[in-house]
Structure 1
Amino acid sequence: MMGVLMGIRGRKRRLDLEAEYWRLLQSGVGTVEACKLVGIGRKTGYRWRAENGGLPPERMPETEHSGRYLSLLERKRIATLRERGLTMTEIASRIGRSTSTVSRELRRNMLEHDKGVYDADMAHHRSRERACRPSRPKLQTDTELRAEVQARLDLEWSPEQIAAHLRILWPDQPDRHLCHETIYRALYQGAKDALSRTLTKKLRTGRALRKRRRSGGARAQRFQTPARLIHDRPVVVELRERVGDWEGDLVVGRGNRSAVATRVDRRTRLLRLIPLPDGHDFARVCDAITAAMAPFPASARMTLTWDPGSEMSRHYELAPLFRDGVFFAYPASPWQRGTNENTNGLLRQYLPKGTDLSVHTAEELRAIEERLNSRPRKTLGWRTPVHAFAAALTA
């Protein structure tokens, strides 16, 4: 690939390099590795990402023919077979395309002034021209629609809420109905006369760049020893009838450089904070959890359900601590650990996002833990987690 690209000079070469860079990112390659493969500097790669808000361009130059579109050879075969009198269904069968594809191709490119003749070369040229002239987005051409979307973003509505609102506001104007992804793209790509990228601050995350998400398969490969997933967990855990079924995760600080481990009992909502002052790699997390579980009796150590992060790659060392073992939720499925996620949300009042968590001493974390465990909870009949846990152990 690089040999072909290096033989192209000027602006065309840069477009091809950028297209290949985005294709690598979309295939799961990291930004730094993609820059190395394409042969550009990291700053150039990060600039390309920043200019597009972390999203690939709407259209990228085709360095090689995509099977999604008809090729010149296919168009010439359509012209030849049509001259022989074959029907559109027969032509589609011969070239391995659907009948609707052939029908659209002929309808778009039949030359009325030439008595309905289909010219393959002319059709291919017109197709390439159309691909180079993308239509203007609705948010560029419809000022009233753009103003409505901007007003809702100023009120800190999510793009999904705005998309639903537009359907209610203009039920009889489907051309003004946008999907939430269209609004996201308009925000992050910041096209001229569309939405300003400064409005990304109004989103819940406030991110200036769209975050790339790793596939579930990539996360599962972190574990060298096979892990047990949540669907293998004993049914009794779902019933919340016993203590000792814990959910856990890491609460991370600024730049992912500091963290605190959290552990919550599913039945009583008792919280335990585990300090990680020296880092949160797999060895330190495993050792910290082992030490934190030591004071608990065997009856309070039934299961542990965790997020499939790299910090749990030594999960097999923790399994003997729990009678029924260690289990993992599916990637990108926080609702499967709902008790822990809810508790982490409460914890953020004391450990805000974007702060350095290493500044909190073990004594400070213990004070935060006691404050949350001493709050009465509606789900516990207005008892506190600490009292509910003690009562359950006694019973």
Structure 2
Amino acid sequence: MSGKFSWELRAAVLRALVRGQSLLQVAGWCGADRVTVGRWARLAGMQVRDGRRGGVVRADVDREVSPEVGRSYRRLTLADRSFIQAALAFPEPWGVRRIAGQLGVSASTVSREIHAHRVRHGDGFGYDAEVAHYRAVRSRDRYRPGKLADPTLRREVVTRLNARYSPQQIAGELKRAFPDQAEMQVSHETIYQALYVQGRGALRHELTVEKALRSGRTGRVPQSKLPPRSTRPWLEGARLVNRPAEATDRAVPGHWEGDLVVGPENSGIVTLVERTTRYVLLGRLPGTRDSATVTDVLASMIHALPAELKRTITWDQGTEMASHKAFTLRTGCPVFFCDPHSPWQRGTNENTNGLIRDFYPKGTNFNTVTDDGLAETQRLLNIRPRQTLDFRSPHVMLTELINGVALAT
């Protein structure tokens, strides 16, 4: 059907829809039926309302585009897009860089604009400024920030959450406190969404209370009758937020990060690195990686350390440390777990595991690595001068700490 109508006519149809004419009105003068007009609108990326006098969802295309603080680019205006349309329609169409130079924007901005908002017509594409601007405005409206992005309202909500108000109580009190200010009112569902959906989240990290809700939940209770997935109860009370604050700045030694480096045939080694000195301990697993075996190897690795150097261990959420409470009773060293998919929270260990892979590339079967060979790898890692230690070695740093602890006792 598109071959029967020119691009000029089709663009005029789309512009009329943007300006508020109905499908029936447009069909009355363009020569195409209402169904065809609706199909053109959908192919142009417009949201169409059905019905005899249906049209496209309106957008505030006349709204001024305000500059965004901190952005290195500016949004294109309708005038900008009109210039792009004209430049592309010249007998010798302008290139992207020439258009960008005239508009004072980057060439990539113009290139993305043309490719994102062009409309397929026949075997080619057409670009119309009003249609492109409509689509851009609709896209921005679809992803505009939520109500709690307003700092004043957000502060009122956070203050009441910290005072242990429920979301319903907050919504009700704000309505009474600000009866004539709709911008200072928010529904309880919006508050729940900010607590549940946005991260354990964008709102939760501003709270001073441990539990934002009396239930203590950080997510919706599933309505399905199927049994819920395991929540790894052994993580409770042992998450990173429960770790002593002194572990964060590396000023106090004795805080370690750990992980497994694994290979085929259920082989692997346990890696530990001390956060202050970067001292590395390695322990080979005996052909199995269950929790009891891992914690046994881990306990033997730190057995000889003074108590002052066995303060905490930080691990990821792997099930190999599910029996960490038994390990803590045995060694006196508590284990804390990072957030899911957050390897940077134990970045020293991640870096160390990369160094270990220099010795044992991926695919290494650790069942064939001897204890002597592993001990030599540990020695080489610990005598290596490190820039972060002012080119001193982890061995020297840990030896000084141990000697200092011995003198103090």
Q: TM-score, normalised by structure 2?
A: 0.46
Higher-RCO chain (CA-CA 8 Å, sequence separation at least 6): 1
TM-score relative to the length of structure 1: 0.48
The structure whose Rg is larger is: 2
